[in-house]
Structure 1
Amino acid sequence: MKIQGKMFIWLSVFILAMAILYGVWSKEPAGTTALFLAFGLAIMIGYYLAFTARRVDAMAQDNKEADVADEAGELGFFAPHSWQPLSLAVGGALAFLAIAMGWWILYFSAPLILVGLFGWVFEFYRGENQNQ
């Protein structure tokens, strides 16, 4: 995790230099602002990863002599397949279509979004995926 923190911090230094160079050279405010915001995001991620790396044990990726198999094993819990993102995607697409075509389409998109949202949030409280 230490290497990722260093990579993001160096990336943020590069983005800051490019933001200053772009701002001075182009005098265009939108791109300059976007680059400074990208710098802020990169430095936040880099600081978080560097801060977290000090509190956790060294991982295989921090060891130059490590093999790929050194990190083998259980990676964590992953949710099984779900149909809820499809409902959210269709509802979201209809909601954006409502902005362009007519607000009456929101009457069809709101129930799809709500069903998808509640279904995804409460996915592990009912059905075959219910936690015992």
Structure 2
Amino acid sequence: MKIQGKMFIWLSVFLLAMAVVYGVWSKEPAGTTALFLAFGLSIMVGFYLGFTAKRVDTGAQDNKEADVADDAGELGFFSPHSWQPLALGFGGAIAFLSVAIGWWLIYFAAPIILVGLWGWVFEYYRGENRTQ
């Protein structure tokens, strides 16, 4: 985490310099404000990563002799047979199509989205996958 913290701090220095140069040169308030906000965000993330790096164990990314496999771990659980994303995608497509065709189409998309979302959230609490 130390490396990432330093990278964000250096990025914030660069963004501050670019915000000043852009503001003086262009006199355009929206872009200058966006660059100053990006500077603020970058300094917050850099400070957080540097602050956290002092309190956690050294990770593989901080060790120059580390291998890529040293930082490997479990990525999470991904459902291998879920049909619910298909329903959500179909409902989402109809919902976005309603912007072009007419808002009345959202009445057909909303139930499909809700059923797909409900099924995805609760798919492991019913049927063959139910745990006791």
TM-score, length basis structure 2: 0.74
Counterpart check, 1:94 vs 2:86: no
Give unmatched runs, 5+ long, in structure 2. Answer: none
CA distance in structure 1 between the partners assigned to 2:39 and 2:129 by the alignment: 41
The 1:29–1:85 alpha-carbon spacing in structure 2 relative to 1, beyond 3 Å, is: farther
Q: Mean alpha-carbon deviation: is it higher for 91-100 or for 122-131?
A: 122-131
Cα displacement string for residues 61-99 of structure 1 (whole angstroms, at most 9, x for unaligned residues): 101122334334x33423234444444344334333323
CA offset at residue 128 of structure 1? Answer: 5.5
Supply the AA of the counterpart residue of 2:79: P
Give unmatched runs, 5+ long, in structure 1. Answer: none
Supply the AA of the counterpart residue of 2:76: F
Give the aligned partner of residue 119 of structure 1.
Answer: 119
Give the aligned partner of residue 37 of structure 1.
Answer: 37
The 1:121–1:16 alpha-carbon spacing in structure 2 relative to 1, beyond 3 Å, is: farther
Question: How many residues end up aligned between the 2 structures?
Answer: 131
CA distance in structure 2 between the partners assigned to 1:36 and 1:131 by the alignment: 51
Cα displacement string for residues 4-37 of structure 1 (whole angstroms, at most 9, x for unaligned residues): 1211221122122212221221122332233233
- RMSD of aligned C-alpha atoms? 2.7
Cα displacement string for residues 103-124 of structure 1 (whole angstroms, at most 9, x for unaligned residues): 1111122123223333333344
- Spell out the pairing of 1:1-132 with structure 2 (5 A cutoff): 1-72=1-72, 74-81=73-80, 82-127=82-127, 130=130
Q: Rg bigger for which structure? A: 2
Supply the AA of the counterpart residue of 1:103: W
CA offset at residue 40 of structure 1? Answer: 3.0
